[in-house]
């Protein structure tokens, strides 16, 4: 079954095997280019120190590549932290609307993130089970029978 996103694009129904999202340009192309740049910068840095030439420029290139690597990782981590906070608040509200109670404080963030995929009909029971049995996020996702669609993904 296909579902429309808010921007008019079509997305296949989500389930355990299709819920992860990779952006090829970011996850594969940019990472590959970054690894190639890092490898080359290390090679030229070592070569410049062994031969005693262009040490400063090789060091500057190496430092620039390290800065770019830091940007690559942090540019993803900062929004993920904000998204995690939003998911925690959203799922707490959803659980409260459905049950009149906040989520169990024993639930970890990764468990709550996994619970966001559960339909309204199974959220309360699965949340209780996750807290009492300390289920992993992967176990929670595998236990979901009806996945709640996420039409806001880009």
Beta-carbon contacts of 103 under 8 Å, excluding residues fewer than 6 positions away, are: 91, 92, 95, 112, 127
Beta-carbon contacts of 154 under 8 Å, excluding residues fewer than 6 positions away, are: 5, 7
Q: Answer whether 0.75 is exceeded by the pTM.
A: no
Across the range 16-35, mean pLDDT stands at: 80
Buried b (16+ CB within 10 A) or exposed e, 14-25: beeeeeeeeeee
147 bridge partner residues: 118
C-alpha count within 13 angstroms, C-beta hemisphere, residue 7:
5
Closest by alpha carbon to 14, among 131, 116, 136? 116
Across the range 131-143, mean pLDDT stands at: 95
Helix (H) or strand (E) holding 70: helix 55-99
Cα separation, 87 vs 15, in Å, equals 18
Q: Grade residue 23 by pLDDT with cuts at 50, 70 and 90.
A: confident
Helix/strand/coil for 12: strand
Q: Grade residue 106 by pLDDT with cuts at 50, 70 and 90.
A: very high
Quick one: what percent of the chain has pLDDT higher than 90? Answer: 73
Closest by alpha carbon to 98, among 127, 134, 129? 127
Whole-number pLDDT of residue 24? 83
- Take residue 6 and report the two structure tokens written for it: 């808010």
């Amino acid at each position: 079954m296909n579902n429309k996103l808010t921007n008019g694009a079509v997305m296949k129904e989500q389930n355990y095997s299709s819920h992860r999202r990779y952006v090829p340009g970011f996850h594969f192309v940019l990472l590959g280019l970054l690894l190639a740049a890092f490898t080359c910068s290390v090679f030229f840095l070592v070569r410049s120190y062994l031969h005693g030439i262009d040490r400063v420029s090789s060091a500057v290139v190496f430092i620039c590549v390290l800065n770019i690597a830091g940007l690559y990782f942090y540019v993803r981590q900062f929004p993920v932290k904000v998204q995690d906070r939003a998911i925690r608040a959203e799922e707490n509200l959803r659980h409260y609307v459905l049950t009149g109670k906040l989520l169990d404080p024993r639930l970890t963030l990764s468990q709550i993130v996994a619970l966001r995929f559960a339909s309204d009909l199974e959220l309360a029971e699965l949340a209780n089970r996750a807290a009492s049995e300390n289920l992993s996020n992967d176990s929670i996702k595998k236990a979901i029978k009806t996945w709640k669609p996420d039409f806001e993904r880009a």
